[in-house]
Structure 1
Amino acid sequence: MPRAEHAISREDISDNALKVMYRLNNAGFSAYLVGGCVRDLMLGHKPKDFDVVTNATPEQIKGLFRNCRLIGRRFRLAHIVFGREIIEVATFRGHHNEDPSVAKQDDEGQLLRDNVFGTIEEDAERRDFTFNAMYYDVATFSVTDFANGINAIKRGEVDLIGDPEVRYREDPVRMLRAVRFAAKLDMTINPRTAKPIKELAHLLSNIPPARLFEEMLKLFLSGHGLQTFRLLREYNLLEPLFPMLGKVFAAPDSKEIGLIELVLKNTDERINTGQRVTPAFLIATLLWYPVEEHATKLQSEAGLNGHDAFNIAMGDILHRQSQRIMIPKRFSTVVRDIWHLQQRLPRRFGRRAFQLLSHPKFRAAYDFLLARGRTEGGDLLELADWWTQFQDASPANQKKMLNTLRQEEGREPRKRRRPRKPKSDSHAQ
């Protein structure tokens, strides 16, 4: 498609991506924008990042850019760093061959190593979805569509290139990507592409936990988390990611599903209005009921008190989940704070209410309590409403609220003890 037949303009492309392509071109190499950025530009969306593909090898790319670092074991990539922006540059991928030093698959057909270079045509065949096999050439301002991606966009369909079962076995994460694109682009998954997903969902257990953590962030923290969650449930892809929630996902009207959907809806609203979100809040939501259930079980079976049972349950549940999806410590620590404060928020007498207000994670814990209250109602909602009023009340009204609370609970305010007079010390200087 020459420039007159598509809507992509250089004004919509990152200056740094243009610099990378021009330098590769000037060094005698071909260079194209490819994948999601071209798809989004064709749809009139603003791309989140820009990926470049070239016939230069990773070592040749590194030789052209001082700000380049090579990454990846399964397939070598070049990251060219411009401050906060990273332009990812890949060499054209080729078809697999029998040489295990450059390509290797396991018994399920999953690619373990994939350093096979090839031509642009072979690279297009190796792309996952048809609308991701469009290439923008900055030298001619043209777009080459190798797999009828334009037609898929017009039909509103997510469609894999090649045999879906083979492609999913090569990389099971493609099943998650199919769902994510369907939610993000408001498309449906082509029946041919959708058919093998439920049968092959178990293959996600072969994916390293660290990679699944990154995929989880893309699934739920891209502004379309609620719709993504519903599609993941529809295709039985949630249980391989969160095995402890298997029973929950089978019950569509449960309080567990209600809490998760409410939090995802709020998260989408925050993301789409430019507010900050943290993965810790989502993880706390997904695993809250397993923690409660496990703590109750520990109390009844091991005879532990509520405090000890809850602390052990938190550690057990986070450890089990980390076997499937890695949870970095910077997030698991916040998750523990949010959970622990759920036990403290009901205890508001004396100075406790003010101490809780000054806790660094009070706001996150309060938001979580509010979501629980709106899901379950009853005493939880009353408690959440009390904290809603208390944190915004004047000091005088806060004192009145605490006095009212004491009266309702039938508690007498503690009498202040008179400070003891210090004993005289004859040896003091």
Structure 2
Amino acid sequence: MRIRYTTAKNGSAVKQAVVYSKEEHGIPVADVDVDALKIIRRLRGGGYTAYIVGGAVRDLLLGKKPKDFDVATDASPNQIRKLFRNSRVIGRRFRLVHVFFHDKIIEVSTFRSENAEVFNNVYGAIEEDVRRRDFSVNAMFYCPVDQVLLDYVDGLRDLRARKLRPLIPLDRIFTEDSVRMIRAVKYSVTGGLRMVGPLRRQIRRSVDLLASCPPSRMTEELFKILQSGYASPIIAELQRYRLFQYVVPRMDAAMRDKAFSALVHERLQTLDRQKQIEDDQRRSRALAYFLCDYLYLKSEFGAMDRIPFQDAFADLKHVIAPITPANKDVQKALVFLVRRRKWYRAEGTI
């Protein structure tokens, strides 16, 4: 383990970051996405610094296979774009670059200034960027070329202690972005992390901030949860913190019936087990498991001999509002449920 120092105004040495070797952090470089590695090599070849960041580093340290790899660099979006023909600059309030491969998109962002407000385009140094990240376990920088882990905020120590600690001051963390409450719950469940007391209390005080969250962002968060392999325990925690009422209000209200809630969670547990075996990314299938018991038991169509498709479709769209999945995904979910109703009736399962 090495310590990276900087110099204070008075000339004294100040600890800046801990640098862990491959033997100390234990990340197998073979677990890194090959295209993410290519991006980092090319950026370094262009004279820039570049690291894998965020949840991918956290998951690698936990021995999990990350679903997405994000890269951060000191290159500007335009400089990144010049290095990668297969890329596109996106965003207005905060510009970043998507690098396209045949089966994936890798997001490349420029280090942000500590003075940046919410999503504004103010770039800075890596030492500032780390302070813009939400939790310490998501604020580590991993270079797969040198195989070193750069840790400015004791994130590895927190991860090994199974602790979820915020980096952004509590009076700002959720007012800047209320979705961080949902993510805190998700990280806590999926990583087996214990939220520190002040974070738990701030979530309980800030619940109502989710009311103004755009439907598009809430939709993405719900599908990330349903497709995580931990849908049931995450949603149970969202219910406990009273957050789920702002994700899917009508389903939350229906699930206040404990017997019905238990059925929905049984269905989600089945989905979770299947996700552990096969990583099925079809949103329609996730919706089918989530809405199964509502359609069969709560809606007026469940007891009908023939389910009127358009009416049932409209009802499902209504019950999951403000979530806005693609119509084709809701339609496919409904087709799946209509075809399997006889098995549900026979066995209580889909």
TM score, norm. by length of structure 2: 0.83
Within-5 A mapping of 1:335-350: 335-338=333-336, 341=338
Cα displacement (A) at 1:312? 4.0
Q: For residues 10 and 194 of structure 1, what CA distance do their matches in structure 2 show?
A: 35
Within-5 A mapping of 1:354-369: 362-363=339-340, 365-366=341-342, 368-369=344-345
| 1:95 alignment partner, SS class | coil
* Structure 2 residue 162 is the aligned partner of structure 1 residue 156: yes
* Structure 2 residue 284 is the aligned partner of structure 1 residue 280: yes
Tell me which residue corresponds to 1:171. 177
Tell me which residue corresponds to 1:325. 323
Cα displacement (A) at 1:44? 2.5
Is the CA contact (8 Å cut-off) linking 2:52 and 2:143 kept in structure 1? yes
Provide closer, same or farther for how the CA distance between residues 138 and 289 of structure 1 changes in structure 2, counting only shifts above 3 A. Answer: closer
Provide closer, same or farther for how the CA distance between residues 166 and 369 of structure 1 changes in structure 2, counting only shifts above 3 A. Answer: farther
Q: For residues 345 and 285 of structure 2, what CA distance do their matches in structure 1 show?
A: 11
Cα displacement (A) at 1:285? 5.1
Structure number with higher strand proportion: 2
* Structure 2 residue 58 is the aligned partner of structure 1 residue 39: yes
Q: For residues 5 and 308 of structure 1, what CA distance do their matches in structure 2 show?
A: 59
Structure number with higher helix proportion: 1
Identity across aligned pairs (percent)? 33
Q: Which runs of 5+ in 2 are unaligned?
A: 1-18
Counterpart of 2:193, as a letter, is: M
Higher RCO structure, 1 or 2 (CA under 8 Å, sep 6+): 2
Match 1:131 to one of 123, 131, 137: 137
* The structure with more radius of gyration: 1
Tell me which residue corresponds to 1:145. 151
Cα displacement (A) at 1:120? 0.5
Q: For residues 167 and 73 of structure 2, what CA distance do their matches in structure 1 show?
A: 21
Match 1:198 to one of 189, 198, 204: 204
Tell me which residue corresponds to 1:8. 27
| 1:332 alignment partner, SS class | helix
Bigger shift: residues 10-19 or 282-291: 282-291
* Structure 2 residue 308 is the aligned partner of structure 1 residue 289: no
Tell me which residue corresponds to 1:231. 237
Q: For residues 275 and 14 of structure 1, what CA distance do their matches in structure 2 show?
A: 17
TM score, norm. by length of structure 1: 0.69
Cα displacement (A) at 1:163? 1.9
Is the CA contact (8 Å cut-off) linking 2:313 and 2:330 kept in structure 1? no
* Structure 2 residue 78 is the aligned partner of structure 1 residue 78: no
| 2:106 alignment partner, SS class | strand
Q: For residues 222 and 202 of structure 2, what CA distance do their matches in structure 1 show?
A: 21
Tell me which residue corresponds to 1:416. none
Q: For residues 274 and 309 of structure 1, what CA distance do their matches in structure 2 show?
A: 32
* Structure 2 residue 251 is the aligned partner of structure 1 residue 245: yes
Provide closer, same or farther for how the CA distance between residues 338 and 91 of structure 1 changes in structure 2, counting only shifts above 3 A. Answer: same
Is the CA contact (8 Å cut-off) linking 2:40 and 2:71 kept in structure 1? yes
Match 2:39 to one of 20, 40, 47: 20
Q: Which runs of 5+ in 1 are unaligned?
A: 98-102, 104-110, 297-304, 342-361, 375-383, 385-429
Tell me which residue corresponds to 2:220. 214
Cα displacement (A) at 1:14? 2.0
Provide closer, same or farther for how the CA distance between residues 228 and 338 of structure 1 changes in structure 2, counting only shifts above 3 A. Answer: same
| 1:135 alignment partner, SS class | strand
Tell me which residue corresponds to 1:396. none
| 1:89 alignment partner, SS class | strand
Q: For residues 261 and 11 of structure 1, what CA distance do their matches in structure 2 show?
A: 36
Bigger shift: residues 217-226 or 6-15: 6-15
Tell me which residue corresponds to 2:81. 62
Count of residues paired in the alignment: 328
Match 1:95 to one of 108, 114, 121: 114
Cα displacement (A) at 1:320? 5.7
Q: For residues 309 and 326 of structure 2, what CA distance do their matches in structure 1 show?
A: 21
Cα displacement (A) at 1:70? 1.7
Is the CA contact (8 Å cut-off) linking 1:133 and 1:145 kept in structure 2? yes
Is the CA contact (8 Å cut-off) linking 1:295 and 1:306 kept in structure 2? no
1:180-233 per-residue CA deviation (whole Å, 9 max, x = no partner) reads 111111222221211121332222232222222211111121111111121111
Q: For residues 234 and 289 of structure 1, what CA distance do their matches in structure 2 show?
A: 20
Provide closer, same or farther for how the CA distance between residues 2 and 366 of structure 1 changes in structure 2, counting only shifts above 3 A. Answer: same
Is the CA contact (8 Å cut-off) linking 1:263 and 1:282 kept in structure 2? no
Tell me which residue corresponds to 1:402. none
Is the CA contact (8 Å cut-off) linking 1:220 and 1:228 kept in structure 2? no
